[in-house]
Structure 1
Amino acid sequence: MTTKPATVLLTILGKEYKIACEPAEQENLVRSAGELDAQMRKMRDSGKVGNAERIAVMAALNLSHELHSLRNQTTTLTPGWKECLVSMMSKIENALEKR
């Protein structure tokens, strides 16, 4: 039996996004969106990055850099953790693409 995807309403930089995800992943998705929102707000509030699209690209680059750094630092991650990180990055990228 397959679980029915849940629809989660996320607010990132003042804009709402409806994202479908597995119920078991809902908490991580909400947490990831919160971290992304905080990072994007920090960039916007610094005044160094102009429009929302540029802020989104810079945030994606920062998160991607952080992910790659973690991959390089931690070569002994269990497959479950690695899959979780990849899944979270994919969800963030999908949310940004829907903008």
Structure 2
Amino acid sequence: MSTSDSQPVSIKILDKDFSFNCPADAEAELLASADFLNEKMLEIRKSGKVLGLERIAVMAALNLAHELLQSKQSLNSDVETRLRHLGSKIDLALQKKTQE
């Protein structure tokens, strides 16, 4: 990607400004991601159990990674269940076909 394809985007997380270069077509996603991260970090800061921006950021990253892994595991489980169900349907259809 050339530098002409990207543009600077400013975001604010826990009252700190950050600037990133991102592709023009990804700006909305970056801003939405920054808002989501900011909300998670604010929740952690409000709990009062974690102090310091760096520790709050690490805790938010760990929480989000955990949620992502759980979501992937759930999705994989759903796919496996559907595949087993389809396999059973195929087996039934083949049994009926061989009985004809």
TM-score (norm 2): 0.69
Find the counterpart in structure 1 of residue 42 from structure 2. 41
Question: By how many angstroms is 1:54 displaced?
Answer: 0.7
Matched, 1:55 2:56: yes
Identity between Structure 1 and Structure 2 (%) = 39
| Higher RCO (C-alpha 8 Å, min separation 6) | 1
Question: Distance between the aligned counterparts of 1:71 and 1:20, measured in 2?
Answer: 29
Question: By how many angstroms is 1:23 displaced?
Answer: 1.2
State how 1:6-25 maps to structure 2 within 5 Å.
Answer: 6-25=7-26
Find the counterpart in structure 2 of residue 64 from structure 1. 65
Which residues of structure 2 form unaligned runs of 5+? Answer: 80-100
Question: Distance between the aligned counterparts of 1:71 and 1:8, measured in 2?
Answer: 30
Matched, 1:4 2:27: no
Q: Hey, which bits of structure 1, 4+ residues long, moved more than 3 A?
A: none
RMSD: 1.8
Question: By how many angstroms is 1:4 displaced?
Answer: 1.3
Pair member with larger Rg: 2
The structure in which a higher percent of residues are helix is 2
3-state SS of 1:9 partner: strand
TM-score (norm 1): 0.69
